[in-house]
Amino acid sequence: MRQRQIITKAPIELPSRSSALRITKLFDERYLGMVVKVDNLLARLMIAQWIAGIAIAFLISPLAWAGKEAVLHSHVFAAIFVGGAITSLPVFLVYRAPGSQLTRYVLAIAQVLWSALLIHLSGGRIETHFHVFVSLSLLAFYRDIKILIPATLVVALDHFARGLYWPESVYGVLNPEWWRFLEHAGWVMFLDGFLLYQCVYSYRELHSHCEQQVALEDAIDSAGKMEKLAAIGTLAASVGHELRNPLGAIRNAHTYIERKLNGEELAPLDPKLVQFFAIITRELDVSSKIINDLLEFSRPREPDLAPCPLKPLVEESMSLVPPRDGVTLVNDVPESLPIPDVDRDQFRQVLINIIQNASEAYKPESTGEVRVAAKTTERQGWQIIISDNGGGIAPDIIDKIFEPLFSTKVKGTGLGLALTSSMIERHEGSIDVDSTEGQGCMFTIQLPPRSTGGAS
């Protein structure tokens, strides 16, 4: 299953890609709910029209067709069997597939066919022709101009064919004027003009309501995140300062003891001592990184922008990532890429964090590659893509990977990607994560079109 999460800093008037996806999802849910309601309404109307058609066949048809075909049973049979045929399929589809596009089209055609049948049963009385207008107005409830098109065509074909071969069935006279068909078609087109406008307007209005709801949810969520980040920042600053001094004392003591033991000439060092000193050194480095991350998170520094070639920066970042057996790091950044303005230190840390995370995502003894590519356009700016073919990100955690203190690693602090997204936002950029579980994932960094020119 393909999963996507986006962290972005965008202008207020333009929704982020993540918000756009939520708007689309909310709109689809609301539109489907509305369509199902209209389906059910028209299905009930079909049954009511069937009953009304049979009643008209008994009570009105003999009088309307007096002197022509005032045969009771023929109209009753038409109402029962033709009406039943028109009604049965759309009602069945509403029961089995409510909300589907096929159901909508069948309902639309069936509704205007009912108009045609009722016009016939009434002997072409002009009052019954208004049923066509009512039918088209009801179909406009779908807010879909594509539904009105086949319905209008069926009305036009029905009037043309019956006006040509059986005019008394549609106009109530044997020899109507030749332009009667155009007159009826003109009125239908006139109504369609208003209905099409209403469909487009109400469709956009529904979409606008969804945009407003998502914007409100984002504002509430942003306020909550700001409070959470402020609390985490205060805690991070306090913990970082409290641990820095004792950690420095431990490192000094470790260095002194190691030097004294290395200067001992009476006997070689115990191999276990060498091993333990290596462990202490490694863990002190890890602890220092954690403290630096905490302090960086608690007091973020604004980027010092300067021209920085991307290809050498990616190469340098890859050299600082601890190597993993079976994992190859590939630098695909073009030599001729224009030079962006970035904070070299911050952006190097961004690349290290993402590349190292991608490298560590591979299981032991597995093989794969982490590839960094980049491109630029005059309008969209720079796009840096870091991809891998590892295990991907699980759907239940992809929305959390940029949250502070969230980590799936045993020794992770959960600040690496949080710092990464924060640094990118301070560059007025965005980061997009696209992952397919079991097939790998892709981080896409977007930077604004801002540089002093030149090439990498």
Tell me the pairing of strands 327-331 and 306-307: unpaired
> 81-92, pLDDT tens digit by residue?
999 999 999 999
- pLDDT, residue 41, reads 94
How many alpha carbons fall within 13 Å on the CB side of residue 413? 21
What mean pLDDT, rounded, does the chain reach? 80
> 168-192, pLDDT tens digit by residue?
777 766 777 666 777 777 888 889 8
In this prediction the pTM is 0.53
More reliable by pLDDT, 367 or 102: 102
Distance, CA of 224 to CA of 403 (rounded, Å): 13
Q: Are 339 and 310 in contact (CB under 8 A)?
A: yes
Burial of 66 (0-12, 13-18, 19+ CB in 10 A): exposed
- pLDDT, residue 13, reads 46
- pLDDT, residue 7, reads 43
Flag whether pLDDT at 97 surpasses 80.
yes
Neighbours of 241 (CB within 10 A): 13
- pLDDT, residue 165, reads 82
- pLDDT, residue 227, reads 65
- pLDDT, residue 46, reads 93
Closest to 118 in 3D by CA, of 149, 152, 153, 86: 86
Q: Are 58 and 76 in contact (CB under 8 A)?
A: yes
CATH code assigned to 306-447 = 3.30.565.10
Beta strands per DSSP E along 166-323 = 306-307
Q: What is the mean pLDDT of residues 213-237?
A: 69
Flag whether pLDDT at 407 surpasses 70.
no
> 304-313, pLDDT tens digit by residue?
899 999 999 9
- pLDDT, residue 65, reads 63
DSSP code of residue 432: E
